[in-house]
Amino acid sequence: MTHRYLKNVVSLELDKDKCTGCGKCTEVCPHNVFIIENGLAEIIDRDRCMECGACANNCPFEAVTVEPGVGCAAAIIKGWLTGSEPSCDCSGGDSSSCC
């Protein structure tokens, strides 16, 4: 049974003019969002993207962009309350934590 999250939300973009088809994005993506077709990367299923940022960080040609972050409601709430960026820091020091 595969998991499906919300449709048409993610910030993932691929600039095919910069892509060289090196395939690094297919190597790092944990949800097989990319394939290499006709020598270039192709996004086959955007809705599977979880915006982890692995593809953008590891693309040597800056062809992939995404706004990375933590898909964690508790972190987002904490970010609102403390006025900081949401992060997985609920595990720091505190004994109760998320991930």
Partner 1 sequence: MQINSTTTQLRFNDIIGSWKARWGINRMNYKVDPGVYSVGAPDKESPVLVTANYKLTFDSLRKELKGLDVWILVIDTKGINVWCAAGKGTFDTEEIVGRIGKMGLAEIVSHRIIVLPQLGAPGVSAHELTKRTGFRVIYGPVRAKDIKEFLRAGMKATTEMREVRFGFVDRLVLTPMELVGSIKTSVAIFAVMFLLNLIAAKPFGVVDLYAFVGTVIAGSVITPILLPWIPGRAFAWKGWLMGMIWVVTVIILNGWPISATFGTIRGIGYLLALPAVSAFIAMNFTGSSTYTSPTGVLKEMKFALPLMVISAGAGIIALLISLFI
Residues that bind partner 1 (CB under 8 A): 1-7, 9-11, 24, 26-32, 48-54, 57-58, 60, 67-77, 86-99
For residues 6 and 38, which CB has a smaller minimum distance to partner 1 in the complex?
6
CB of 52 to partner 1, least distance (A): 4
CB of 56 to partner 1, least distance (A): 9
CB of 18 to partner 1, least distance (A): 14
Per the rule left: phi > 0, alpha: psi between -120 and 50, beta: everything else, 25 is alpha
HSE on the CB side for 21, CA within 13 Å?
5
Which residue in this structure is represented by tokens 């299923």?
45
CB of 44 to partner 1, least distance (A): 11
CA dihedral 67, 10, 77, 57 (to 10 degrees): -30
Q: Name the amino acid, one letter, at 30.
A: P
